Chain A
Amino acid sequence: MIMADKIILEVARYSPEQDTKPCFATYEVPVHKEWVVLDALNYIKDKVDGSLTYRWSCRMGICGSCGMMVNGEPKLTCATFLSSYAHNGNKIRVEPLRYFPVVRDLVTELSDFLVKLKKVKPWLIRKDTVPLSQGEFLQTPEQLDYYKQFSMCINCTLCYSACPVVGLDPKFVGPAAIALAQRYNLDSRDQGAVERIAVLAHPEGIWGCTFVGECTKVCPKHVDPAGAIQQYKLNAVLDWLTSFLMPRGHNSQDVKP
């Protein structure tokens, strides 16, 4: 197929100081083979309208700033090529990530997400204190592999925009935060799984998830939050069952190799 040399971007615009509701503005931008959607937004901001508002930073898919809805799908705009849309007079519609309050144009409000992250205690919890002079905690490559995937989350929040449960219940802790909790629960050095149960094994924790699996599909870093949630659910059920058999202190969330 022949690539068009120009493409139309329909970009959601909203300023709380001027608008009562969001509307779309249309821009024609050049298409270069190397350009991603973010380059087109930068072109508009630099050359056409300096008031277009969005977040971006690293342009290499690791800082997690530039997530937006592109033709209805949550995407990192730095990793979404214009050329994949530039056929047959297609347009590209760019909107802020769904299910978040909008601050302005393409910028969403993230403070609630940050509260959820902190709630799951995403830090290494130890019951003992071992002085640094004793060297590193040993961890084999197999033990590292056990949680590594869940440590790859860049907090881009695409999974929240993909998750219908987040859309229905804003209190749902959500895919990224639960995956992060599992990242620590599964780390052989961590002893804090018990402390994370209250938040996770709660109607607004894992039991909120109806396993649609969209979070895993949109994750640009292959973190598989849906897998983390299912794994935790299974262990939670086992815990509930074994609590009848072994009432004292068994915890199958502590399943590390």
Chain B
Amino acid sequence: MDVSSHDVLLVGGGGAGLRAAIAAAEVNPQLSIAVVSKVYPMRSHTVSAEGGAAGVIKEDDSLDEHAYDSISGGDWLCDQDAVETFVKEAPQELLQLERWGCPWSREPNGHIAVRAFGGMKKRRTWFAADKTGFHMLHTLFQTSLRFDPITRYDEWFVTKLLVDEGRVQGVVAIELMSGRIQAITAKSVILCTGGCGRIFPFTTNANIKNGDGMALAYRAGAPLKDMEFVQYHPTGLPFTGILITEAARSEGGYMLNKDGYRYLQDYNLGKPQPKPVLRSMELGPRDRLSQAFVSEDQKGRTIQTPYGSIVHLDLRHLGEKVINTKLPFVRELCMKYQNIDPVKELIPVRPVVHYMMGGVSTDIDGATPLAGLYAAGEVACVSINGANRLGSNSLPECLVFGARAGKAAALFAAQQKVPNGSVLAQATDERKRLESQFLFKTGGRERISTIREGMQTTVEKCAGIYRDGASLAEGADTLRQLQERFADINLDDHNRTFNTELEAALELGFMLDVAESIVQCALHRTESRGAHQRTDFPARDDKRFLAHSIVHRNPDGSSRVELLPVKITRWAPGERVYGELSQTNEPPQAVLTRKAG
């Protein structure tokens, strides 16, 4: 078997992966760094992020306020040490990106411009019109080209982590172009593969978002954390699931039900004002807005369409000029994909699966409990997002924790010996598995798309915006049956060259494992918090569940869920308050005293 060797290996070349690669190259230019990505890095899903990236930069703002907004927005499930690190380093990272050429939108005097965002009490979201992720990703990719220690493996699909002597020592990957299956060894591995929205039938996530990294880690013995917390974004276009950015609301858009009524006023989110008010109404947090949609739907106040119930997002009063300057991509997407012009027409929207708060459990340096394995970005759960992420926190999360993981993995790699030969035997076994169970197997009876659709319907039905014990238990059974049927899969394609059907089958395998972890965590958490709403346990229960779900994979493929207490540094759990009350009350200041040191 062919082998190539590096010091630090990145799986994934999006925002977190490229930031990590550059950080590793800067911390130690002697290291050899590999970026292994199943797509060309500039195709990574960071490219689709629209609204912006939060980082305290203006005089009227403070790190404590960003921390408080994030912690209350996350329904007190955030680890507060991670949040404090995050808010402190986010502005530095955004500034670094400015130095690398990111075309941030500006104020007339040339300084960085910021916009309002949901759940944020101050304007602190940096933006590049409404293509922020696109510009960040291309800036990072283009900048990464000048770092010689970075070797790219473009369009290589990672199938397995190689673990020996309790330490991750590389990966097995398929070079799509040739179909060659080989080992790439490394002294440390960082997972930056993003989320897993494609587990659900209706998502903003790109086709490549299959929970690859989550499943790789989970199978290798690293636990996942808080997998029950799935974010539904309130404004997706029906049918396609294309995201209409929250920035549309921060610029002043209204959410209207079928009667043209701003229904959010009925859900404890404040009173409607003509202009946007921070932490109020349309600028409430995403979990609360998506839940309000379900209630409106139950009251019969939504509009029925062939692609599900919808409400309207109204931007007409903003005028063509504001829409063209601040939201050009929203207009482009509406016109190209929905055949409507938001300058003159209402935009039909419904909640859509958007983001995983949960992921591979890491510390604030991106390290997982498995030696040599790191994770950053959406694939990871460092716990800055808790039970509900605030819009515009995920892009800076990629940068802050991508950079931290890159540095930590570089330091770790410098202390390790060259991976030993026994991982190569594992790699050979993996190649045989791929060939016998997929590539050259004949006589299977199941189609990939049938099982994938079965999984998507099941997960949406049992682990959607509202859940209950009975349907979760039923969903868990159905997923187990789908796992069995998956073993009987049949491929039409037995070519080695660019075999996308093989890739899709392996992705489906990843998704089934991750779906199982979502449902098991959701079953285990018998309370309601943030994006996890149990109709059979409607209240938050801090006595039992001010804790993370940690889910391990047992050797037989089943899972076990344990609880890990949330780290509270300075903000004691309180009620989440939006609307007028959040305007008049000062945010509870550090009620706990910071420990010395």
Chain A residues packing against B (C-beta within 8 Å)? 15-18, 34, 45-47, 49-51, 53-65, 79, 103-105, 107, 109-111, 114, 117-118, 121-124, 130, 132, 135-141, 143-144, 147-148, 151-155, 180, 184, 187, 189-190
Contact = CB atoms under 8 A, between A and B. Distances in A.
B47 A61 contact: no
Contacts of A17: 495-497
Contacts of A114: 40, 154
A59 B497 contact: no
Given A136-B95, A187-B101, A141 B111 contact: no
A79 B336 contact: yes
Interface in B139-164: 142-143, 145-146, 154
A107 B336 CA distance: 25
Name A's interface SS.
loop
B333 interface: yes
A65 B134 contact: no
A207 B242 CA distance: 41
A34 to B, nearest CB: 5
7 contacts: A50-B448, A50-B501, A53-B498, A60-B48, A144-B103, A151-B135, A187-B103
A244 B485 CA distance: 77
Given A34-B239, A79-B337, A123-B145, A190 B40 contact: no
B interface residue count range (under 10 / 10 to 19 / 20 to 34 / 35 or more)? 35 or more
A38 B135 CA distance: 25
Given A51-B495, A57-B207, A137 B143 contact: no
Contacts of A103: 177, 497-498
Which of A137, A143, A184 has its CB near the most chain B CB atoms (within 10 A)? Answer: A137
Contacts of B108: 140-141
A151 B103 contact: yes
B584 interface: no
B449 interface: yes
Nearest to B501: A50
Rank and list the top 6 A-B pairs by shortest CB-CB distance, nearest first: A138-B110, A51-B493, A124-B101, A46-B449, A50-B492, A122-B142
Contacts of A130: 99
A15 B242 contact: no
Nearest to A58: B206
B39 interface: yes
Contacts of A151: 103, 135, 138
Interface in B32-51: 39-40, 42-45, 47-48
A136 B111 contact: yes
Interface string B482-512: 0000000001110111111100100000000
Contacts of B336: 61, 79
Nearest to B39: A57
Given A104-B495, A132-B92, A122 B39 contact: no
B383 to A, nearest CB: 27
